[in-house]
Amino acid sequence: MSDLDQLLARGYRYALSLTHDHARAEDLVQDAWLSILEREAPRHVGYFFRTIRNRFLDLEKRRRLVAVEPLDESVEVGVEPVSIDVEDVERGLGTLRALEREALYLSAVEGHTVAEVATLTDQPLGSVSSLIQRGRAKLRRFLSQERRHG
Amino acid sequence: MSTEPLDRAIRDHYESQQPSPAMLERLRSATATAERGRRRPWRLLAAAAMVLATLSVVWWQLDRSGFSPPAPTTVVADSEELTQRVVAEVVKNHFKDVGLDFTTGSYDQLATAMTGLNFQVATPNTERMGALDLQGGRYCSLQGHIAAQLWLEDSAGRRATLYQTLVDPMLDELDGQEVEQDGVLVSFWVEDEVFFARALTGAHL
């Protein structure tokens, strides 16, 4: 896989964390990459992710679908299942809000610290910390329920 | 409590996701085109000078031998390739079902709402559109230009899609063309400064 393919694949996975939809993720990546080419902008992962994010927020604002939830510090801690089914993870991620999925993605997949995620996404440290905690708690709760019902 | 198993599951999930080969190919091709355009001007000038010099010599020799040149087939090939490229993109977008950004039956309302475009959504010529009612629109791109994808339906609820973007000299070449691909009839036309592409599935044909 070439460097360009790897960069595009990373961009796609990041876009998927925002949209949780294959077609919309590909649209985002395509629009962002074409915009970078057109403006002769830097072709590195940080700039690429930022372009994808800006495009996503722009579209969501137009659709008025950016949901706002109070950043409650007291999140419920669920019990983590012993074994985790891959399909359950995908469905569980679908129950999270876009910004929760994004924060989890940047932390768990890209390996960023909370402070780095805060810088990358222009959000306060406390907000990012809440997003990650709440995202994990929701996902644990979903997986526990699936395990009980399954 | 450790978050490792959960984080690993999230990581495994995302790392198993891949973009489609078609998208990768499109973006590789766009990148290659952009890189060709970024070459330094002196290189382009040198290349142009070499081409001109070669052509002059060839032309002079052919002229001396009384040779009559054939029709310019290269231009036709380029034009066909452009048509195929735009048709393929329209057909791909036609089958996508990613939801509308704006739901309305009015072209005027859509023109007011879609402020992110570099042109205003236009009401197409009624004769071309026939009995297709507007359902709404979403942002998309066509050949790298920001565009509007409009959803339309006939009285039986069958969907057609209409694309609008600001016309440029390249897209202008497609004016009046009609091509069928994968059971989709794609028609191109230009009204004022707006380029239109309409996609109708077999049911409408």
pLDDT tens, position by position, A2-25: 899 999 999 999 999 999 999 999
3-state secondary structure of B156: coil
Helix axes A3-19, B21-37, angle to 10 degrees: 120
Torsional sign, CA B47, B53, B56, B57: negative
Q: Choose among B194, B162, B198, B163: nearest CA to B180.
A: B198
Can you tell me whether residue B151 is helix, strand or coil?
A: strand
Distance from the Cα of A69 to chain B's closest Cα (Å) equals: 22
Q: What is the CA radius of gyration of chain A?
A: 16
pTM tops 0.80: no
**Residue of B167, B173, B152, B164 whose CA lies nearest to B197:** B164
Q: Does residue A73 carry a pLDDT above 90?
A: no
Report pLDDT for A108: 94
CA-CA distance, B72 to A91, in Å (whole number)? Answer: 56
| Model pLDDT, residue B72 | 46
> Are the C-beta atoms of residues B30 and B144 closer than 8 Å to each other?
yes
Residue range A44-71: mean pLDDT, rounded: 76
Lowest mean pLDDT across B18-32, B35-49, B98-112: B35-49
Measured in angstroms, the CA of B164 and the nearest CA of chain A are apart by: 16
In the prediction, which pLDDT does B73 show? 44
List all residues 6 or more positions away from B17 whose beta carbon is below 8 Å from its beta carbon. A12, A13, A16
B61 and B149 in contact (C-beta within 8 Å)? no
- Pick from B98, B116, B140: which is nearest to A58 by CB? B116
How close is the nearest chain A Cα to the Cα of B136, in Å? 12
Contact A112, A128 (CB under 8 A): no
Interfacial residues of B (vs A; Cβ cutoff 8 Å) = 1, 3, 5-20, 23-24, 26-28, 30-31, 34, 38, 96-98, 101-102, 116, 139-141, 144
Helix boundaries (H) for B65-125:
73-95, 107-113
Do the Cβ atoms of B196 and B124 come closer than 8 Å? yes
Residue of B nearest to A101 (CA): B10
Tell me the mean pLDDT in the region B80-91: 89
Residue B137: exposure state from Cβ atoms within 10 A (0-12, 13-18, ≥19): buried
What is the pLDDT of chain B when averaged over all its residues? Answer: 81
Q: Does A13 touch chain B (CB under 8 A)?
A: yes
Max mean pLDDT among B16-25, B39-48, B122-131 falls in: B16-25
Mean pLDDT, residues B18-45 = 78
Closest chain A residue by Cα to residue B137 = A63
Look at B19 and A9 and tell me if their CB atoms are within 8 Å. yes
B150 in the Ramachandran plot: left (φ > 0), alpha (ψ -120 to 50) or beta?
Answer: beta
Tell me which DSSP letter residue B123 carries: P
CB A128 within 8 A of CB A121: yes
Give the mutation candidate from B24, B109, B145 for the A interface (greatest A CB count, under 10 A). Answer: B24
Asked if the Cβ–Cβ distance from B24 to A107 is below 8 Å, we say no
Q: What is the mean pLDDT of chain A?
A: 85
